[in-house]
Amino acid sequence: MAELAYVVKLTAAEGKVDEALATLGKLVDATESEPGTLQYVLHTDTTEPNVIWFYELYADQAGFEAHAGSTTMAEVMGALGGLLDGPADMCRLEIVRRKG
């Protein structure tokens, strides 16, 4: 099965970006024990200070589902209440070419 890649855009509520980043960092830490999560990168936007991006790469659909259904994901989603200015914008990507 093919690898799955996603980019996810989140917008922090005004004045909440640092708190949102700290909360989302728990997801990055948890991926260390997820063999199906190949890359999970948290970014801040250099032009929009409240925008947070993730780049995610999974070995397959099962890897994505394990991450999405994890206890840490549920905890973080609950903790994000009031920290975000709207829902996440999640886009699935098709890898065409890459290095590494």
pLDDT in tens, 48-84: 999 999 999 999 999 999 999 999 999 999 999 999 9
Check residue 89 and give its pLDDT: 98
Termini Cα distance of the chain: 18
Q: What is the mean pLDDT of residues 13-20?
A: 98
Q: Compute how many other C-beta atoms are within 10 angstroms of the C-beta atom of residue 29.
A: 10
Q: What letter would DSSP give residue 12?
A: B
For residue 86, pLDDT beyond 90:
yes
Please give the model's pTM, rounded to 2 decimal places. 0.93
Check residue 1 and give its pLDDT: 61
- Among 1-5, 18-22, 37-41, 90-94, name the one with the lowest average pLDDT: 1-5
Check residue 100 and give its pLDDT: 80
Q: What are phi and psi of 3, to 5 degrees?
A: -65, 155
- The answer to whether residues 53 and 8 touch, using CB atoms and an 8 Å cutoff, is yes
Q: What is the mean pLDDT of residues 88-95?
A: 96
Beta strands 89-93; 51-58: pairing state: unpaired
